[in-house]
Amino acid sequence: MKLKIICKYGRYPAADGGTSCFWLSGGGANVVMDMGGGALIGLEQNGLPLPDTDAIALSHLHFDHMSDVLALVYKCEIYEREGRLKNKIPLYLPDTPSDVFALLERTGAFDLRVVKDGDEAFFKSLKLTFFAMKHPVETYAVRCEADGKALAYTADTVYNENIARLIEGCSSVFADACVLARDFNEKSPHISVRDIARLTRESRSKIVLIHLPPEGDLDGILEEALSENENAALGETGVWYEV
Count of domains forming the chain: 1
**Cα–Cα distances in angstroms (integers) from residue 157 to residues 143, 153, 166, in the given order:** 15, 11, 12
Q: What is the CATH number of the domain that holds 188?
A: 3.60.15.10
Residue 231's nearest CA partner among 204, 191, 193 is: 204
Burial label for 184, CB within 10 Å (0-12, 13-18, 19+), is middle
Residue 60, classed as helix, strand or coil, is: coil
Gyration radius from the chain CA atoms: 17
CB 32 within 8 A of CB 66: no
Residue 35's nearest CA partner among 51, 53, 58, 55 is: 58
Distance CA 216, CA 201 (A): 24
**Average pLDDT of the chain?**
97
Expressed as residue numbers, the domain containing 157 is 2-242
The backbone torsions φ and ψ at residue 210, rounded to the nearest 5 degrees and listed phi first, read -135, -175
pLDDT tens, residue by residue, 9-32: 999 999 999 999 999 999 999 999
Rounded percentage of the chain residues whose pLDDT exceeds 90 = 100
pLDDT tens, residue by residue, 169-206: 999 999 999 999 999 999 999 999 999 999 999 999 99
Residue 227, classed as helix, strand or coil, is: helix
Query: Is residue 221 very low, low, confident or very high in pLDDT (cuts 50, 70, 90)?
Result: very high
Kindly report the pTM of this predicted structure.
Answer: 0.97
